[in-house]
């Protein structure tokens, strides 16, 4: 068996793997990229791209446009096809990356074997990066595996995009971002939708922010049942029945959206001496394995969140260390967004987390969208912004309302760069835009200190008497 030798072996061609492989190869690192599934990973093929295409089509239908479910599926396929060349094997080979399309498994700390159509190849490398992503986690509910169910992977599988018809009544098991986004999209396209969540829906989010989203979805006719645990699933003719302690729910289709698990079963990581947990490979802040210093875990495999933008960021962190030998740590605050209408986004600490860390030093600022002139002009005043401040610096921020996912970037920059809140209060934004709400909420921190202080008033009075 031939052994190919490289400086860097990247396993997984999603956002993290592609970022690292392209950068490394172009800087002169001999790089091999191994992918057993689709180039572009989950985000391109089953996650971000198809889901946002569906959400957009559903929004147009909700606004009165003639967009059918079949049309929406066609748009999804078109979007994937338009982006795929950027992530393709041909493009990366053109950048100098050796691309092998097969499943890799470790046989030692320095070697992996790859099952290729033409036979097994052995790869030896000085550095490894494991960026194999994650897959839908299917809960151990009695009977679930005996009925047909969808996950985000099968929902957007190519063969389904070409043949799927609108579900009559979609049951969604799981009230996290994926379940909630798909619930609203299908409801807007005409499905009846019931969401079953064992705890609170959108459980990571600030209570007053998630309440705005859930109220909007319920107003559109989505049945969201919180604190409702599925105990058994069964087929009854053409219906799927989910049994709960509160009774049974019937539908035509079932979407399982109860979380994700890291893809590490095929890798034989124990043969490389790599410590793992349920969340993925155990790493330090530089994303290096704590038991194999020549191996990096990126994206979902690093156990620090499951976002495409986080994976791309991890690729850049690893590139600086591997290609240039520079100290590099993955410590930036990572924003998250749920693309419902209204959108919900957050970065940094929640109020509860900030109170635990900063105690009495914490100030919480809130401002409703109705205080923003652009929101009033467009009659889109639903929503609010919430900012956690400690020591005059923002440590967390959440937004619910139109464009929240686009707007949260201001606060990622402010928190990540440890900027003072005065920088946001002193910024100049074009009028009228929603971005002005960031200046307004930051200014509300200083208003009482300036306008309600007797000391300030006495000082200004003295200055006025001295001025010519």
pLDDT of residue 215: 98
278 annotated as ligand-binding: no
174 annotated as ligand-binding: yes
123 annotated as ligand-binding: no
Q: Which fold has domain 138-258?
A: FAD/NAD(P)-binding domain (3.50.50)
- Segment 364-370 mean pLDDT: 98
pLDDT of residue 294: 97
**Each residue of 5-43: b (16+ CB within 10 Å) or e?**
ebbbbbbbbbbbbbbbbbbbbeeebbbbbbbbbbbbbbb
The dotted CATH code for 336-451 is 3.30.390.30
Pair 224, 172: CB distance under 8 Å: no
- Segment 202-231 mean pLDDT: 98
- Segment 222-236 mean pLDDT: 98
One fold for both 3-39+88-135+261-324 and 138-258? yes
pLDDT at 87 > cutoff 80: yes
pLDDT of residue 457: 64
Q: Binning pLDDT at 50, 70 and 90, where does residue 297 land?
A: very high
- Segment 110-130 mean pLDDT: 95
pLDDT of residue 451: 60
Instruction: Name the token pair of 162.
Output: 């070409």
Q: Binning pLDDT at 50, 70 and 90, where does residue 153 land?
A: very high
pLDDT at 90 > cutoff 80: yes
315 annotated as ligand-binding: no
Instruction: Name the token pair of 194.
Output: 């019931």
- Segment 326-355 mean pLDDT: 97
Enter the pTM of the model.
0.94
- Segment 357-374 mean pLDDT: 97
Pair 41, 13: CB distance under 8 Å: yes
CA distances from 424 to 305, 365, 415, 441 (A): 27, 13, 11, 9
Domain boundaries, the chain: 3-39+88-135+261-324, 138-258, 336-451
pLDDT at 462 > cutoff 90: no
- Segment 253-264 mean pLDDT: 97
- Segment 308-327 mean pLDDT: 97
Q: Binning pLDDT at 50, 70 and 90, where does residue 354 land?
A: very high
Give me the residue label for tokens 């100290």: 327
pLDDT at 454 > cutoff 70: no
pLDDT of residue 28: 97
- The CA distance from 157 to 167, in Å, is 16
179 annotated as ligand-binding: yes
96 annotated as ligand-binding: no
- The CA distance from 291 to 298, in Å, is 16
pLDDT of residue 452: 63
**48-62 helix and 69-83 helix, angle to the nearest 10 degrees:** 140
pLDDT of residue 77: 97
Which residues make Cβ contacts (< 8 Å) with residue 468, sequence separation at least 6?
none
Gyration radius of the chain's alpha carbons: 25
Q: Binning pLDDT at 50, 70 and 90, where does residue 464 land?
A: confident
Condensed to tens digits (0 to 9), the pLDDT of residues 159-214 reads 999 999 999 999 999 999 999 999 999 999 999 999 999 999 999 999 999 999 99
Which residues make Cβ contacts (< 8 Å) with residue 439, sequence separation at least 6?
424, 425, 427, 428, 429
Half-sphere exposure of 64 (CA within 13 A, CB side): 0
143 annotated as ligand-binding: no
Q: Binning pLDDT at 50, 70 and 90, where does residue 456 land?
A: low
Condensed to tens digits (0 to 9), the pLDDT of residues 439-448 reads 999 999 997 7
pLDDT of residue 447: 72
134 annotated as ligand-binding: yes
Query: What is the average pLDDT score of the chain?
Result: 96
181 annotated as ligand-binding: yes
Closest-CA residue to 14 (of 435, 314, 252, 233): 314
- The CA distance from 180 to 186, in Å, is 10
- The CA distance from 238 to 252, in Å, is 7
pLDDT of residue 455: 64
Which residues make Cβ contacts (< 8 Å) with residue 213, sequence separation at least 6?
180, 202, 205, 338, 340, 342, 344, 400
CATH assignment of 3-39+88-135+261-324, given 1.10.540.10, 3.40.190.80, 3.40.50.10330, 3.50.50.60? 3.50.50.60
Do strands 295-297 and 98-100 pair parallel, antiparallel, or not at all (unpaired)? unpaired
């Amino acid at each position: 068996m031939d052994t190919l030798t490289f400086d860097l072996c990247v396993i997984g061609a999603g956002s993290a793997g592609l970022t690292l492989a392209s950068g490394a190869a172009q800087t002169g690192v001999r790089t091999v990229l191994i992918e057993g599934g689709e180039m572009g990973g989950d985000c391109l093929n089953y996650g971000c791209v198809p889901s946002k295409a569906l959400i957009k089509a559903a929004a147009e239908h909700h606004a009165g446009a003639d967009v059918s479910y079949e049309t929406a599926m066609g748009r999804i396929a078109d979007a994937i096809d338009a982006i795929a060349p950027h992530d393709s094997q041909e493009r990366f080979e053109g950048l100098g990356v050796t691309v092998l399309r097969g499943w890799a498994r470790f046989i030692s700390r320095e070697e992996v074997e790859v099952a290729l159509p033409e036979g097994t190849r052995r790869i030896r490398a000085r550095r490894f990066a494991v960026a194999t992503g994650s897959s839908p986690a299917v809960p151990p509910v009695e009977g679930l595996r005996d009925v047909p169910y969808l996950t985000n992977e099968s929902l957007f599988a190519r063969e389904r995009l070409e043949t799927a018809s609108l579900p009559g009544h979609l049951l969604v098991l799981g009230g996290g971002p994926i379940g909630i986004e798909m619930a609203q999209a299908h409801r807007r396209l005409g499905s009846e939708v019931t969401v079953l969540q064992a705890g609170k829906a959108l459980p990571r989010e600030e209570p007053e922010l998630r309440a705005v989203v859930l109220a909007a979805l319920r107003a559109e006719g989505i049945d969201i049942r919180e604190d409702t645990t599925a105990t058994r699933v069964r087929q009854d003719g053409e219906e799927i029945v989910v049994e709960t302690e509160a009774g049974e729910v019937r539908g035509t289709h079932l979407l399982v959206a109860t979380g994700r698990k890291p893809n590490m079963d095929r890798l034989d990581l124990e043969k490389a001496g790599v410590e793992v947990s349920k969340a993925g490979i155990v790493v330090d802040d530089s994303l290096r394995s704590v038991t194999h210093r020549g191996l990096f875990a990126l994206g979902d495999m690093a156990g620090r969140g499951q976002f495409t933008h986080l994976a791309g960021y991890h690729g850049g962190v690893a590139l600086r260390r591997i290609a240039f030998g520079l100290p590099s740590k993955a410590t930036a605050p990572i924003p998250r967004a749920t693309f419902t209408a209204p959108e919900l986004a957050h970065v940094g600490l929640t109020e509860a987390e900030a109170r635990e860390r900063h105690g009495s030093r914490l100030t919480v600022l809130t401002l409703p969208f109705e205080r923003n002139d652009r929101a009033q002009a467009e009659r889109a005043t639903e929503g609010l912004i919430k900012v956690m401040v400690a020591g005059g610096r923002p440590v967390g921020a959440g937004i619910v309302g139109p464009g929240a996912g686009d707007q949260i970037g201001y606060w990622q920059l402010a928190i990540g760069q440890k900027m003072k809140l005065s920088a946001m209060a002193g910024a100049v934004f074009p009028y009228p835009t929603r971005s002005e709400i960031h200046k307004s909420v930051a200014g509300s921190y200083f208003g009482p200190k300036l306008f309600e202080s007797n000391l300030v008033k006495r000082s200004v009075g003295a200055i006025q008497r001295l001025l010519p």
